[in-house]
Amino acid sequence: MELAKEAGVSNHVPEAAAESPTLEISVLGPLTIRRGDVELTAGDLGGPKPRQVLEILLLNFGSAVSKTRIIDLLWNGNHPAVALPTLESYVSVLRRRLQPGAGRTGPLRTVTGGYVIDRTMVDLDLERFTTLTEQAAVAAPHAALELLTEALELAASPLLGDELLPGWAEEERALHAERVGRARVLAAESALLVGEVGKAIAWSGAAAREDSLNERAWTTLVLALEQNGENTEALRAFDRCRRIMDEELGCAPTGLLKEAHARLLTSTAPSGGPPARPAPVHPTTENHPDAPPATRQETGRLRILIVDDHTTFSDLLAGALDREPDLTSVGAATSVDSAASMFRELRPDVVVMDLYLADGSGLNAAERILAETPEARIVMLTGNPSQEALREAARMGICGFLPKDGALGVMLDTLQHARPGNMIVHPSLVARLGSMTGSAPDSAGK
pLDDT given for residue 416 in this prediction: 76
User: Do the beta carbons of residue 100 and residue 109 sit within 8 Å?
Assistant: no
User: Do the beta carbons of residue 441 and residue 425 sit within 8 Å?
Assistant: yes
Three-state SS string over 361-425 comes to EHHHHHHHHHHHCCCCEEEEEECCCCHHHHHHHHHHCCCEEEECCCCHHHHHHHHHHCECCECEE
Q: Is 281 among the domain residues?
A: no
Rounded CA gap, 237 and 250, in Å?
Answer: 18
Q: Is 150 among the domain residues?
A: yes
Walk along the chain (446 residues) in steps of 10 and give the mean pLDDT of each run. Answer: 46 45 88 91 88 93 93 88 93 91 85 92 94 90 93 91 76 90 93 91 92 90 91 89 86 80 76 47 37 48 87 77 82 88 89 87 89 89 77 83 74 75 68 48 38
Phi-psi region of 296 (alpha: psi -120 to 50; beta: other; left: phi over 0): alpha
Secondary structure tally for the chain: helices H, strands E: 17, 15
Give me the DSSP letters along 123-146: EEHHHHHHHHHHHHHTS-HHHHHH
Give me the domain span that covers residue 117: 23-123
Q: Is 290 among the domain residues?
A: no
**Beta-bridge partner residues of 200:** none
pLDDT digits (tens, 9 = 90+) for 256-290: 888 888 888 877 766 544 444 444 443 333 333 34
pLDDT given for residue 385 in this prediction: 66
Rounded CA gap, 155 and 149, in Å?
Answer: 10
Rounded CA gap, 444 and 396, in Å?
Answer: 19
State the CATH number of the domain containing residue 184: 1.25.40.10
User: Are both 199 and 322 inside the same structural domain?
Assistant: no
Q: Is 6 among the domain residues?
A: no
Start-to-end Cα distance in the chain: 24
Q: Is 446 among the domain residues?
A: no
Q: Is 211 among the domain residues?
A: yes
Q: Can you tell me whether residue 17 is helix, strand or coil?
A: coil
pLDDT digits (tens, 9 = 90+) for 89-136: 999 999 999 988 877 888 999 999 899 999 999 999 999 999 999 999
Rounded CA gap, 267 and 99, in Å?
Answer: 65
Give pTM, 2 decimals: 0.58
Residue 144 has phi, psi (to 5 degrees) of: -60, -40
**Beta-bridge partner residues of 303:** 328
pLDDT given for residue 42 in this prediction: 83
Going from the C-alpha of 244 to that of each of 124, 163, 166, 209, the distances in angstroms are 38, 31, 32, 11
Q: Is 15 among the domain residues?
A: no
User: Are both 369 and 416 inside the same structural domain?
Assistant: yes
Number of domains comprising the chain: 3
Residue from 410, 354, 355, 403 nearest 383 by CA: 403
pLDDT given for residue 428 in this prediction: 65
Q: Is 286 among the domain residues?
A: no
State the CATH number of the domain containing residue 305: 3.40.50.2300
Rounded CA gap, 149 and 140, in Å?
Answer: 14
